[in-house]
Chains A and B, each alone.
Chain A
Amino acid sequence: MSEQKPGWRELPRGAVPYKSTEEYETGDWGVEYPEIDRSRCTKCMLCHFYCPEGAIKVREDGYTEVDLRYCKGCGICAEECPVKCIKMVLKT
């Protein structure tokens, strides 16, 4: 984060953020990331609903996909998956 941040005269008043959280990629926080085994996935979408970051999207074909730019690696998806097709993998 070496960008030049605005000074107090420039910043919007009311302390409102001038940037969207979309630009704040929290994906590098995690130690592990989820890997989905789609051969066993039942498309139940529970991982999509349980993800606290909204980082798991549902694709056109009904399978879910993790957006690793935002996934913090909490592992809730793997814990909640009823068929245990999500595995947390250590980042190397």
Chain B
Amino acid sequence: MMKMEKQILMGLNGDEAVAYAVKQVNPDVVAAYPITPQTIIVERFSEYVADGLVDTEFVAVESEHSALSSCVGAAAAGARAFTATAANGLALMWEITYIAASLRLPIVMAVANRALSGPINIHNDHSDSMGARDSGWIQIYCENSQEVYDACIEAWRIGEHPDVQLPVMVCLDGFTLSHTMENVLTLPDETVREFIGERRFITVKGHTGEAELRLNPEAPLTMGPLDLQDFYFEHKLQQVEAMKHALRVIPEVDAEYAEVSGRRYGVLHPYRMEDAEVALIGLGSTMGTVRHVVDTLRSEGVKAGLLKMRVFRPFPAEELIEAVGDVPVIGVLDKAASFGAPGGPLYEEVKTTFYDEADRPLIADYIYGLGGRDASPQLIRDIFRRLEEIRARGEVAEKVSFVGVRE
């Protein structure tokens, strides 16, 4: 048990918070390629390398495909590896995201969420990371730079846990977080290093006997060979199981982190939900705006609530049911569209979660903010007004709405 450390308040934007946390973690390898709005992460980190403040091998790769491939190689060799990307960069990493997860390599990657082209757009929505939701990575969505900093420390402990062994994506909204300076409480370097400790390896039975899951000429293993019909399915089941373990491990690591930092987040964060009559569920920085609107509405006598989903993969279904409780009307905020689908990705999962519940809320989907379209307090107020109409009527007339778009 560690004691609470004295913390230093720093002015950091989201990208700088990532870079600073990773500097304190001091990973063995960082391989990254700059892309807006993630660029500051790579810039700051390469300054730390140039100034000799980290022991990290910085690999200036020629593409994001190479960035993640380098991390896969490094992590397979037993290194701690980090990378960062956004939007089209993540798209270029695509095939390697699945490989990192299936080879059970606990790489940490920051994604400065940005709308996927085309048409080209550098601003925030969740179309990039939502597309990667089935790649087998743990996904943590952050509300502010403080959460970004904390997630970039916790991520290593979560991913490297012997029961998990999966890569972790820390998602921060492009520009809204990545380029906006905020107060961030930072831990001393030694505290961070003590908290994350050394990378842990699991033991596997390879073709020459028991060996740590890492490439080591003294105890050779083969990683990622042809799997085909007779083994691939079993290996996928192992990934399914690892995600279940992650749902248990994330709060454990979070509780331990609270002991040194005083900050605890959980997998989801309810706000004024106990007696709420209408509530919004969502991800990322917009949740700060929703919280502000909830407070305003409460002062006006509207029983509004907020449920922030911090962890999207693994999806905390049980916790969601418990946190929603008796709230009769739920609005889901989706910052990504799934073309041709019944609704946005978060909406579909929330609805699936409640399908088997005898006592379930009315649920409506609000797709907003695509390409960085502003999610103003007024927009959120309008959505709450619609939720109140649903409550009064007792049914959802329009299941999926696109809000803040010109007709």
The answer to whether B103 touches A14, judged by C-beta atoms less than 8 angstroms apart, is yes
A2 at the A/B interface (Cβ < 8 Å)?
no
Does B363 have its Cβ within 8 Å of any Cβ on chain A? no
Docked complex Cα distance between A24 and B41 (Å): 47
Closest chain B residue, CB of each to CB of A15: B235
CB within 8 Å for A14 and B104 given contacts A5-B231, A7-B234? yes
Give the secondary structure class of A's interface. Answer: loop
Are A15 and B103 neighbours in the complex by a CB distance under 8 Å? yes
| Residues 213 to 244 of chain B near chain A (Cβ within 8 Å) | 213, 221-225, 227, 230-231, 233-235, 237-238, 241-242
Q: Which one of A6, A7, A15 has the highest number of Cβ atoms from chain B below 10 Å of its Cβ?
A: A15
Residue B102 CB within 8 A of the other chain:
yes
Asked if B225 contacts A5 (CB within 8 A), the reply is no
Chain A residues near B238 (CB, 8 Å)?
Answer: 8, 11, 13, 15
Q: Is A20 an interface residue (CB 8 A)?
A: yes
Q: Decide if B207 touches A13 in the complex (CB within 8 Å).
A: no
Binds A, one of B175-183, B198-206, B321-329: B198-206
Say whether B378 faces chain A, with CB atoms less than 8 Å apart.
no
Instruction: Determine how close the nearest CB of chain A comes to the CB of B123; give it in whole angstroms.
Output: 38
**Contacts A14-B103, A14-B223 given: A19-B207 contact, CB under 8 Å?**
yes
Complex Cα distance, B221 from A7, in Å, reads 20
| Contact indicator A16/B230 (Cβ below 8 Å) | no
Q: B165 contacts the other chain (Cβ, under 8 Å)?
A: yes
Instruction: Determine whether the beta carbon of A18 is less than 8 Å from that of B206.
Output: yes
B207 near A17 with CB under 8 A, answer yes
**Does the CB pair B213–A16 fall under 8 Å?**
yes
Residue picked from A6, A13, A17, most chain B C-beta under 10 Å: A13
* A15-B127 Cα distance, complex, nearest whole Å: 30
Chain A positions 37 through 66: 1 when the CB is less than 8 Å from some CB of chain B, otherwise 0: 000000000000000000000000000000
Contact across chains for A20 and B208 when beta carbons are under 8 A apart: yes
Q: Which A residue sits closest to B203, measured CB to CB?
A: A12
Cα–Cα, bound, A12→B224 (Å): 12
| Chain A contacts for B223, CB-based, 8 A | 14-16
User: A18-B207, A19-B207 in contact; A13/B234 too (CB < 8 A)?
Assistant: no
Are A5 and B230 within 8 A (Cβ)? yes
| A16–B165 touching, CB < 8 Å | no
Q: Is the CB of B235 within 8 A of A8?
A: yes
Contact B205–A8 (Cβ < 8 Å): no
Could you tell me the distance in whole angstroms from the C-beta of A7 to the nearest C-beta in chain B?
Answer: 7
Q: Given the complex, which residues of B lie within 8 Å of A11, measured CB to CB?
A: 231, 234-235, 238
Query: Shortest CB–CB separation between residue B197 and chain A, in angstroms?
Result: 21
**Contact present for B207 and A14 (CB under 8 Å):** no
- B207's partner among A6, A8, A20 (CB-CB below 8 A) is A20
Contact assessment for A13 and B104 in the assembled complex, using a CB-CB cutoff below 8 Å: yes
Contacts of A16 in B (CB 8 A): 204, 206-207, 213, 221-223
Select A8's contact among B165, B204, B208, B237, beta carbons within 8 Å.
B237
Task: Please give, as numbers and ranges, the residues of chain A lying within 8 Å of B242 by CB-CB distance.
Answer: 13
Contact B222 A17 (CB under 8 A): yes
Nearest B residue to A12, CB-CB:
B204
Residue of A nearest to B210 (CB): A12
Whole-angstrom distance between the Cβ of A9 and the nearest chain B Cβ? 8
Nearest B residue to A5 by beta-carbon distance? B230
**Interfacial chain A residues near B241, Cβ < 8 Å:** 8
**B107: min CB distance to chain A, Å:** 13
A18 → chain B closest CB, angstroms:
5
Set of chain B residues within 8 Å of A19, measured between Cβ atoms? 207
Contact residues in B for A18 (Cβ distance below 8 Å): 205-207
- Alpha-carbon distance A6/B238, docked complex (angstroms): 13
Within 8 A of A (CB), among B229-271: 230-231, 233-235, 237-238, 241-242
Q: A8-B237, A18-B205, A19-B207 are in contact. List 12 more A-B contacts (CB 8 A).
A: A8-B234, A8-B235, A11-B231, A11-B238, A13-B202, A14-B213, A14-B223, A15-B231, A16-B213, A16-B221, A16-B222, A17-B207
**3 interchain residue pairs of minimum CB distance:** A12-B204, A8-B234, A8-B237
